[in-house]
């Protein structure tokens, strides 16, 4: 190919014949493909079969629906079996709106016993900062008065921050949900108003 193209006249307008043969072939294909991709043409290997793909996609959707249904029932069963409402206690962690300190870890003690210790990944921290609430612990306690201790550690502007707080709470017959909100750049731990 090089021989014939080497002798070609100077190109003044796009003439695919003046390019190497392999390039001329590709130029047509690539330029067209690029524009069609933008305009909405199918891309990739289409020969696998649109119908096959569609039917598979629908089958996967049905399986997802089915598995979600099983998960829901299983969740109820687990809760009944492992955390019955008369003993269930759950602790949730959230960040106050606008908090930007880097939360590294949260430790939870109930009645002096360590029950949860979580170290946060970037994704988890981001989810908390966006307003998500983390269930950090689910367990069982007897009806009556209990003590909850929460300790946190993190960083703000390169400096370490930490805080500790304890509260008492009363467990009644219904499930006890305790919400903890971290505020003041990691200097305050507040019991949520849930």
Partner 1 sequence: MTPTWIRAIASGLAVVLLAAATAAEDLRDLHFGEALYEAYQEHWFESLERLDAEIAQHYRVDEPQLDSLYAHIGSAEFDVGDFELRYRMHHRAGRAIRAVLEADVAEPIRNEAAFRLARIHFQKDQPHEAMHALERIHGEIPDEIRDDIEFLRANVYMALGRPADAVKVLDDLQGDGELEGFSAYNLGIALLQAGRERDAVTQLDRAGQVSSGDPATLAIRDKSNLVLGTLLFEASAFGPSQSALDRVRLEGPFSNQALLRAGWADASAQNFERALVPWSILAEREPTDAAAQEARLALPYAYSKLDVHGRAALLYGRAVEAFGAQLEKIDASLDSIQEGEFLEALVREEIRQDKDWVIRLRSLPEAPETYYLMSLMASHDFQTALQNYLDLEDMRKKLVAWQRSFDAFDDLVELRRRYYEPLLPGVDREFRRLDARMRLRLEQRKHLARRLEHLLIAPRPEHLATADEQRFSAALDGIEARLAESSGADDAELQQRVRHLRGALRWSLETQYHERLTEAHRHLHELNQDVEALDAQYVAFVRTRQAATHSYAHYEAPIENLRARVTQAQERLEIAMKRQGHVLESVAKQELKLRRDRLEAYQNEARFAFADSYDRAAKAQAAK
- Interacting positions 61-80 with partner 1 (CB under 8 A): 61-68, 70-78, 80
List beta partners, residue 85. none
Query: What's the DSSP call for residue 132?
Result: -
The smaller minimum CB distance to partner 1, of residues 65 and 112, is found at 65
Q: How many CA atoms lie within 13 A of 178 on its CB side?
A: 29
Is 22 a binding residue for partner 1 by CB under 8 A? The answer is yes
**CB atoms near residue 178 (< 10 Å):** 22
Total residues binding partner 1 (CB under 8 A): 81
State which of positions 97-136 bind partner 1 (CB under 8 A): 123-124, 126-128, 130-135
Which of 88, 89, 94, 186 binds partner 1 (CB under 8 A)? It is: 94
Site string for partner 1, 23-62 (x = CB under 8 A): x--xx--xx--xx-xxxxxxxxxxxx---xx--xxxxxxx
CB 167, min distance to partner 1, A = 16
Q: Who's near 149: CB < 8 A, 6+ residues apart? A: 108, 109, 110, 112, 164, 165, 166
Q: How far apart are CA 82 and CA 51, in angstroms?
A: 45
């Amino acid at each position: 190919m090089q021989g014939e193209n080497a002798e070609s006249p100077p190109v003044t307008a796009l003439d695919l014949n003046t390019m190497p043969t392999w390039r001329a072939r590709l130029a047509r294909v690539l330029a067209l493909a690029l524009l069609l991709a933008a305009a909405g043409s199918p891309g990739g290997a289409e020969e696998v079969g649109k119908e096959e793909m569609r039917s598979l996609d629908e089958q996967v959707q049905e399986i997802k629906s089915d598995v979600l249904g099983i998960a829901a029932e299983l969740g109820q069963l687990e809760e009944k079996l492992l955390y019955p409402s008369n003993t269930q206690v759950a602790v949730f962690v959230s960040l106050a709106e606008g908090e930007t300190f880097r939360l590294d870890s949260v430790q939870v003690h109930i009645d002096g016993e360590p029950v949860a210790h979580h170290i946060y990944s970037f994704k988890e921290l981001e989810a908390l900062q966006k307003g998500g609430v983390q269930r950090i612990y689910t367990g069982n306690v007897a009806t009556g008065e209990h003590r909850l201790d929460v300790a946190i550690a993190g960083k703000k502007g390169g400096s370490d921050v930490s805080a500790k707080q304890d509260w008492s709470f009363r467990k009644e017959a219904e499930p006890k949900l305790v919400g903890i909100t971290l505020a003041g750049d990691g200097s305050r731990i507040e019991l949520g108003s849930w």
